[in-house]
């Protein structure tokens, strides 16, 4: 693998282009949630309640454990937080 180059860390870690794209999408959604959580003045208990998740699940989100969340879960959490998610589909470069 020495000298091999990848478009992103996900391309290097995942077994297929589809899996890498899924992880890129999940990571982008998670970054938005993490930003919301970090900018909030709510206590963890209140933030978990706002998102309708447990505190341990909130901790996984705060630690960026993207592999523990699906796209559906992350979109749902963003909705709970008051966000709208839009999807843009483009041909690959």
HEC letters along the chain: CCCCCCCCHHHHHCCCHHHHHHHHHHHHHHHHHHHHHHHCCCCHHHHHHHHCCCHHHHHHHHCCCHHHCCHHHHHHHHHHCCCCCCCCCCCCC
Domains located in the chain, CATH noted: 9-80 (1.10.260.40)
pLDDT tens digits along 8-66? 555 445 567 788 888 889 999 999 999 999 999 999 999 999 999 999 999 999 999 99
What pTM did the predictor assign? 0.79
Q: pLDDT tier at 4 (50, 70, 90 boundaries)?
A: low
Quote the pLDDT of residue 87: 87
Quote the pLDDT of residue 14: 54
């Amino acid at each position: 693998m020495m000298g091999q180059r990848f478009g992103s860390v996900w391309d290097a870690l995942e077994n297929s282009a589809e899996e890498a794209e899924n992880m890129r999408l999940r990571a982008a959604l998670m970054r938005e949630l993490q930003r919301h959580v970090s900018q909030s003045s709510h206590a963890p208990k209140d933030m978990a309640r706002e998102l309708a998740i447990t505190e341990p699940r909130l901790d996984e989100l705060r630690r960026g454990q993207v592999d523990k969340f699906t796209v559906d879960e992350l979109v749902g959490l963003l909705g709970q937080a008051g966000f709208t998610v839009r999807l843009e589909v483009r041909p690959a470069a």
